[in-house]
Structure 1
């Protein structure tokens, strides 16, 4: 069932049937309506303007881009960083870049369509990928594309599929859209965790909007690779992220950490109360609980709770539902959700 909103859905949504508690979306840290966060953003819009549409290759440049990219690289743990206007642009920049090289590119199951590009080979599981890597020509460099948070338990938190592969000569590209700002020390995502694996090269890309509450994408990797991506027509020809967005991200870390603490508390409370964890696919400390039971979605809705629920990634796909715990929620919201699930 579709619901149309007139304002940002936080812990509750207003529908034509009245008010419902909302456990969906991707606003994990509940930043989008926080007064202090909005004040930072507003101040930066006044300073930098609402939008900057010039190419990053222009002869007139904002210094905030270099400052923010250096800051983000340190934050995530990479040598270098490239910022873009969205997570889709970030992931497409990387996937399109490899689509016109001599590399052989494998796309793993449940990876987001933002990583899709021409010439990729889709594999059904990591066993098929293992066999494909053994069969490829020795001189061919392999690129492996995956989502860190795939909602089906293939990757985060243990990345057992990757650990089963010989990755020493592989480039691993990870879309960490649902991890950046949310998981890892201080919300740094999975970069440092994956860096512990014996792989040839690591590139992390994706949206920072879900974890940091701002319209922004990023690519993280080695200085050499980031510089190569910086020289591509896609990067040079696209509008950058808003400079006000980058400035706000740099200035708001104390707010983000406070919200992450609240999120961790809400997640801990929910996990302690729910009596049927087997109903869900839950990925480590990520605040989402995936399920395919349409009757459970209906049960929640009948008890005035709306969750994320739609066929994914296409209209012909199986209905995927997801409970999302966020920093928006109050302890009473969490109690109510657990009580309704326990009644099912």
Structure 2
């Protein structure tokens, strides 16, 4: 890793701690929360609720608009935060969502999906799909968005949800997003790749043990399916997917599964950021690799969102 990335990874790992059978999840969630970054972009931010997947249920979302977001017919980006389906929140990814609305000019809708272990799979992906259904049906009248120009994005477990919601949309007849941005996505529950063996031993922040803990809580004993582990999707299903930008990190245990998934997609831009670790994109103010990757992904998203169906 680069010296700057090494210093950040070591600092994060020390604060993060180990995850295992005796982990106090409530305490770990408090430990991984973060105060607002004073350098975050100014944006108009609104918290609201939308219909959830079950009759009468509600789902919280946070809607971001930059000064460059059109008041009407704005393109939209549905964002799903990472955290292994167990940790993190709208607040932990607030700075990244502010940056995305500034860079793309899109209406960014960050989705507060239900977390495991209280709500194991398929709760998170059904919440993600409910958010897409709401956006395709109600975005124009409720938020001034253009339902013909919706992309999905997410980091880590959120990248998993972004990919999975595209698979669900194709299966269930919901209009597909125009694009998907998958940042170092979690895709494979088997944890058997070379990058998992090389980088999952504790020297690069995210570990194989972390991933076993996350998958264990998310699946809760159920077998993985394409909706929970998108690497299991058939080639036929993947041919239906919208154009994708897949971002991986050189020193990430998940790198190989992201690389393999990107290789199976029909229309894809695939970038591997050198010398950085899993989760590096959150550190775009500090790491040049994060700044470059985020800027490049934003240009790609802006181009995809500019075209109407």
Interval containing the TM-score (normalised by the shorter chain): under 0.3
Larger relative contact order (Cα-Cα within 8 Å, sequence gap ≥ 6): 1
Q: Which has the larger radius of gyration?
A: 1
- TM-score in terms of structure 2 length: 0.25
